[in-house]
Amino acid sequence: MKKMFLLFSHNLSEIQLNDAKSNLEVSEVVSLPNKLQDIWSNIPADIENLREYLLSIRNFLAENSQYGDVVLIQGDFGAVYQMVNFSKDLGLIPVYATTSREIEEFEENGKTIKKSIFEHIRFRGYL
């Protein structure tokens, strides 16, 4: 069975966890340690090149993953691009979550309120 590493700023929902187990054959979900999660969740906009900034996350993946493990990667576009390529170089399977969105709109106290409801549909591989 495989591990799923989370390069993701949210917690997995129960539906996502079940999908990972049944469709990706994941037996264990591995979150980033707090320090690395802070790095991933707070990528500074003023850095031109993220290579050095992401080094500790690349090292964590290289040291803790095995060929064929899954990596859920979502976040800053540049960081995602780099980590997808890095994951592929390690023989990992990079994926992202797809959702459907339903919007409810209603009026309350003379104001229009929009509510978005997201539902997990599947994980899709980066090709």
pLDDT in tens, 89-127: 999 999 999 999 899 888 889 889 998 888 999 999 999
> Which residue type is seen at 66?
Q
Distance CA 7, CA 60 (A): 11
pTM of the model: 0.89
* pLDDT of res. 106: 86
Averaged pLDDT, 19-47? 97
52 DSSP 8-state letter: T
The domain tally of the chain equals: 1
By C-alpha distance, which of 25, 32, 24, 17 is closest to 120? 17
- The whole-number pLDDT of residue 8 equals 94
Give Dmax over CA atoms of the chain in angstroms: 56
Tens-place pLDDT, residues 46-86: 999 999 999 999 999 999 999 999 999 999 999 999 999 99
Higher local confidence (pLDDT), 25 or 1: 25
Domain that holds residue 103: 2-125
In sequence order, what are the beta bridge partners of 31?
Answer: 6
Q: How many CB atoms lie within 10 A of CB 67?
A: 9
Identify the burial level of 37 via C-beta atoms within 10 angstroms of its C-beta, where 0-12 means exposed, 13-18 middle and 19 or more buried. Answer: middle
Length of the chain: 127
